[in-house]
Amino acid sequence: MSPPTETPAREPAPAESAPPPVVAPGAVEETPLRRIAADFAESRLAVAGLALFLAILAVAATAPLISPQNPYDLAQLDVLDSRLEPGARSGDGKQTFWLGTDDQGRDMLSAIFYGLRISLGVGVAATLGALALGLTLGLLAAFLGGRADTFIMRVADIQLSFPAILIALVLLALLGQGVDKIIVALIAVQWAYYARTVRGAALVERSKEYIEAATCLALPARRIVFRHLLPNCLPPVIVVATVQVAAAITLEATLSFLGLGLPITEPSLGLLIANGFTYLLSGKYWISFFPGVALLATIVSINLVGDQLRDVLNPRLQR
């Protein structure tokens, strides 16, 4: 977008101001956000992923409204309807079980909607919590420097060198079962990624001139950190957060599958899959298969979006 070049050997411009630059009629100003959105949309796969994720989010949010049956209301279940194949009709002929039923007569489709709700809820809540904790600690480390910095980063590094599943396993073995305990375990496992990322970005930004200017203006430290430093450290953090939501959902599903995660009163997709494990060998695959597909769709869509975001925001691959 360079200004039009002037022809050489021209007499100096007249005393009146030069004519304003010509803008094509209907052109839209290109802000950074628009550029990122345009780059993102270059990959059809990523856009498809985003659409799928938004659809899943909508389903999870409206689960009680759109499910044909409330699978956790015992009055609506009939154990004679158990283990029916996909597409079968219930004993009283009133409903069709599009994805079959499990061993207690619950409609799989409804169970999957409710399960998605819980899985997504726990995943997002844990990510937000880890984000808050990690951002605060990372920014503190970058801003304070010195001993605090070394200590916080050492703890984060040690934690990152152990696999998440082990830390979560130990925490849950000590804390017991429950939604809040699982969220605590997931936060404890994930805060270190955010802390490291934001500290790296903050260290780079801290030496830039706008921070120096803000310091010269004697703005309070809190304002400098949260209003000036933080927004400029966000791009890598957003990428990490997107991928970590998927990781949180997978970890929660794995822990539920192993029997250590959410209790049976709030079953997530992992527990549904675990329920179906025993029926796999007798050919009743749908009890495990369909919740797995739902889990897969969620994770793949989030990963597609996160992948493209990372490519778009990566300065090394800039065209």
Partner 1 sequence: MLVYVIRRLLQSVVVLLAMSLLVFVGVYAIGNPVDILINPNADQEDIERAIKGLGLDKPLWEQYFVFLRQALAGDLGKSFAFNVPAIQLIVERMPATIELATAATLIAIVFGLPLGLWAGLKPRSAAGRTIMAGSILGFSLPTFWVGLMLIMVFSVHLGWLPSSGRGPTTPLLGVPVSFLSWDGLRHLVMPATNLALFNLALVIRLARAGTREALVQDYVKFARAKGLSNARIVGVHVLKNISIPIVTVIGLQFGSLIAFAIVTETIFAWPGMGKLIIDSINVLDRPVIVAYLLIIVTLFIVINLLVDLLYSVLDPRIRLADART
Interface residue with partner 1, options 165, 219, 230, 313 (CB under 8 A): 165
Which is nearer to partner 1, 165 or 234 (by Cβ)? 165
CB contact set of 75 (below 8 Å; sequence gap of 6+):
none
**Only segment of 9-17, 56-64, 108-116, 301-309 that touches partner 1 (CB under 8 A):** 301-309
# binding residues, partner 1 (CB under 8 A): 39
By CB under 8 A, residue 13 contacts partner 1: no
- Token representation of residue 296: 């897969």
213 near partner 1 (CB under 8 A): no
Question: Is residue 258 a contact point for partner 1 (CB under 8 A)?
Answer: yes
**Considering beta carbons, is residue 182 or 253 the nearer one to partner 1?**
253
Nearer to partner 1 by Cβ, of 187 and 214: the residue is 187
Q: Which residues contact 309 (CB under 8 A, 6 or more apart)?
A: 40, 46, 238, 239, 242
CA angle 219/224/226 to nearest 5° reads 140
CA–CA dist 273, 278 (Å, integer): 10
Structure tokens at 271: 């527990």
Range in contact with partner 1 (rule: CB under 8 A) among 110-118, 184-192, 229-237, 280-288: 280-288
> Under the criterion CB under 8 A, does residue 7 sit at the interface with partner 1?
no
CA-nearest of 191, 77, 181 to 135 is 191
Return d(Cα 87, Cα 66) in angstroms, integer.
Answer: 18
Phi–psi pair at 101, nearest 5 degrees: -125, 160
Under the binding rule (CB under 8 A), the answer on residue 119 touching partner 1 is no
Amino acid at residue number 187: I
Query: Could you list the residues that contact partner 1 (CB under 8 A)?
Result: 45, 158, 161-163, 165-166, 169-170, 173-174, 246, 250, 253-254, 257-260, 270, 273, 276-277, 280-281, 283, 285, 288-289, 292, 295-296, 299-300, 302-304, 307, 316
